[in-house]
Each structure stands twice: as structure tokens, then as C-alpha cells.
Amino acid sequence: MHLLTQRAFDRLVGLIYEAALQQVTWNDALAEISKSFDDAASLFYIFNPVNGETLFAATSEIHPEYQGSYVAHYASTNPYPAPAVTQIKTGQITIASDVVDAKNAAQSEFYNDWMRPQKVSLHHLAVKLLHTEDRVCILGLSPRGSAYEAEVARYRRAFDKLVPHLLRALSIQTALAKKGNAEAVESNILDRIKIAVLGLDKSGRVVQANLAAERLLHADGPLSTDRSRRLRARVLAEDTKLQRAIGALIEPAVTPAAPHPVRLSSRRVDQAYACWVVPFGNFSGGTQRPMGDVLNALSTAPAVGLLVTRVRAFDTVPPEILKDLFGLTSKEALIAAHLASGCELQQIADKQGLARNTVRNHLTNIFAKTGTRRQAELVTLLASILPPI
């Protein structure tokens, strides 16, 4: 075996991490591993330890015909049982002959008809890279020929140098898979919500939008994006208010002001919307990650959320319904209905002929009865009572 040069080793490690990040395939990484170990046959596979189902497999230096025959027949004759493989300590390289006696394996159909024609050694190497309740990941490596069997220990030491990187790579890929699953579920839930929901990053760019929000971004809607995906209201005066509300959350004051809806207009004269700007993630309550946090610097996660609801006539959701649902008084129900339509407190006070502080007192009672604490929470709750947009 030719010892790996530092340059070749660095390239190999780089490919392993690129495979974890899905910049290259595991087949590409395996091809380089095989090449580095004298064109060894290699197999990277993930299976369910409960039922033995193979969930993923990548190979190198194994002829496609043998891959097909393994799936069709030889998998059932494999003398290296999954239970024995799962007992291997994670990260510890094991020689196949330590799991199944080489003499017994040499008499098997699997060895004589599948392994031997490919010059796969009875003493091939294996390492378990991952073991959870429903996932086991194994990498098997079998350099060919008598030179390997004369120097198993030497090959094993070289393979051992790769193991820490393989473990980290699988850990990275597992974390990315979990994140991807969570995002898929989150996206599916958001698309089922009839309220338009948008997520903006720290630069005001749209990084998330459910189906209802996408509909509002079309030519006749109240919102649009520029070439860099920065969100804009179509009416200049409304955009000024919207940008001010977004900026107040991205760079919050010591005591953030209570949120108020921004009224948005579409090109259709019969449609108006109320837009509530709310904090997301690390910007909630004015608490941010430190400037030196790399994840914060690289993050494209939403920092600010927008909830956009159609402004409806009060007879769509009569105040009487709010009275019955939450036990509100007639005045409280009317004020709640005004809030749901996008009115600000002063506008409500003017319409009802009340002092602003009186409206605030009613709002405090509404919060208590509806189990909400802020106007944004309240309008979201009330909007959920409305028919779909």
C-alpha cells in the first residue's frame, strides 16, 4: 500500500465533508476512498436495525451486476448478520473475521459466489458511524489481493485516520436532515394557514412566505419585492409606515413600542389589508445574539414576521360572536372587531367618541378574556375566526 500523502489525505477529508453537505455524492467520496486504498471495494450503507431494511447504499469498485445480484439474492445469504454488526462499537474499526469466523465464512455461498469473484477479503474492514433506534450506518472497506492480507494492520491504521472525520460528517448530515425535516413540516403547516405569513431576514428580505402570502405578492396585491427580495408596500405612504415598523423590531428600542397594524391597499379598490409586524427568533423582545456569533452572522433565518389579514366589514364577524366566544361586553366586542379590521387605538377612540385611555382599559380587559397579551396575538386570534381569505 502506498501511504497517503498529506495532500491526498486533505483532499479525501474535504470530499467526505462535501458529501455530508451534499456538494458531492457519497459515491464520489467512496471512489476517492477506494482509490486511496489500492482500488478497494467499498460500501457505505444505512439500514433499519429493527427490520433490516436498507435505507441507503453507495458503493465503489463493485460492478453493477454484483450490486443487482446482491439485492436480488445474495443479501439473504450474507453470513455477516445485522445484529452482529450493530454490536460493533461506534467509531471502532472491526475486521470481518472478528465478527464471523473466516473458515465458516469461506464455506458460504455468499463468499464463493459474490465476495471471492470480486476479490473481497474475508478480513475486510468495517466501521459503524451511526447508531440510533432506527438507523445504523456502516462503511465497509476491502482492499484486494494478498498484499492487503499481509498488511491488514497497516491498512487499518490508515483507515483509522479517516474515522474521526467520517463520524463528524455523519453528525453534520444527520443534523441537516433533522433541520430539513423540521423545515418541511413547518412549511406544510404555514401553507395550511389562511392568514398570509411572511418572514424577513435582518435586511428586510423575504426568506419565507406561505401560499397565502405569495398570493399577496402578485401584481394586484398590496405587497411586492424588489430585485433583492426586499419587501415593499405598493403605496408609498404605507411603505414608509411598514419600513418603520420592521426597523423598530430589527433594531429595537430599550422598551419596544406596542405593535400597531399597518393598513395596506391593493390595486383593487374593494380590498384593504391589516399588516401586523411581530418579532421572530433571536430578535424577540429585543434580545439578539452577540456580534461575534458566527451563526448569527451567517444566518438567513427570519428575524421579523408579518401577519397580513384582509380588512373585512364588521358584519362578516359580528361583535355578538365575539361576545359569545370570549364573554366580552358589547363595547369590548366592538373594539375587538375594530382592531381585527386594522384600526389603531386612536382611530377607535375617535369612532366611538372615547378617550384613548378608555380604549386602552377596554383592551386590557379583552386581553384577559381572550388569553392574549399583545395586540398582535389578539388580531391573530380574531383572524382565525374569520372565514378563509
Mean pLDDT of 68-86: 77
pLDDT value at position 294?
A: 43
Which of the two residues, 197 and 83, has the higher pLDDT score? 197
Pairing of strands 196-200, 304-310: antiparallel
pLDDT value at position 291?
A: 37
pLDDT value at position 37?
A: 85
Angle at which helix 152-192 crosses helix 6-20, to 10 degrees, equals 30
Q: Is the pLDDT of residue 253 over 60?
A: no
Mean pLDDT of 39-47: 84
Read off the pLDDT of residues 191-202 as tens digits, 9 standing for 90 and up. Answer: 777 788 888 887
pLDDT value at position 389?
A: 39
Q: Which CATH architecture has domain 313-389?
A: Orthogonal Bundle (1.10)
Mean pLDDT of 32-51: 84
Q: Of 127-141, 147-161, 183-197, 211-225, give the lowest mean pLDDT range.
A: 183-197
Angstrom distance (rounded) from CA 12 to CA 60: 15
Q: Which range, 21-30, 160-169, 314-323, 341-350, is most confident?
A: 160-169
Q: Own/partner pairs for 49-55, CB < 8 Å, 24+ apart?
A: 49/82, 49/83, 49/86, 49/131, 49/133, 49/134, 49/135, 49/136, 50/133, 50/134, 52/82, 55/135
Which of the two residues, 365 and 180, has the higher pLDDT score? 365
Give residue 27's pLDDT band: very low, low, confident or very high (50, 70, 90). confident
Q: How many CA atoms lie within 13 A of 96 on its CB side?
A: 26
Q: Own/partner pairs for 72-75, CB < 8 Å, 24+ apart?
A: 74/109, 74/110, 74/113, 74/114
Q: Is the pLDDT of residue 139 over 70?
A: yes
pLDDT value at position 165?
A: 93
pLDDT value at position 21?
A: 83
pLDDT value at position 284?
A: 40
| Other CB atoms within 10 Å distance of the CB of residue 70 | 20
* The CATH homologous superfamily of the domain defined by 6-182: Transcription factor LuxR-like, autoinducer-binding domain (3.30.450.80)
Is 99 in contact with 127 (CB distance < 8 Å)? Answer: no
Q: Of 13-27, 133-147, 176-190, give the lowest mean pLDDT range.
A: 176-190
| Ranges assigned E (strand) in 211-312 | 223-225, 231-233, 262-265, 272-279, 304-310
Q: How many CA atoms lie within 13 A of 361 on its CB side?
A: 6
Mean pLDDT of 203-220: 86
Q: Is the pLDDT of residue 292 over 50?
A: no
Handedness of CA 265, 271, 274, 275 (dihedral sign): negative
State the average pLDDT for the chain: 80
Domain 193-311 matches domain 313-389 at the CATH topology level: no
Instruction: Please report, for residues 41, 279, 346, 383, the alpha-carbon distance to residue 245 in angstroms, rounded to integers and kept in the order given.
Output: 60, 11, 17, 20
Burial label, 153 (beta-carbon count in 10 A; 0-12, 13-18, 19+) = exposed
Whether the pTM exceeds 0.85: the reply is: no
**3-state DSSP call for residue 8?**
helix
Burial label, 368 (beta-carbon count in 10 A; 0-12, 13-18, 19+) = exposed
Q: Of 55-59, 178-182, 264-268, 339-343, give the lowest mean pLDDT range.
A: 178-182
Q: Is the pLDDT of residue 376 over 50?
A: yes
pLDDT more than 90, % of the chain: 15
Per-domain residue ranges for the chain? 6-182, 193-311, 313-389
Q: Which range, 44-48, 54-58, 75-79, 369-373, is most confident?
A: 369-373
Name which CATH class applies to 193-311. alpha beta
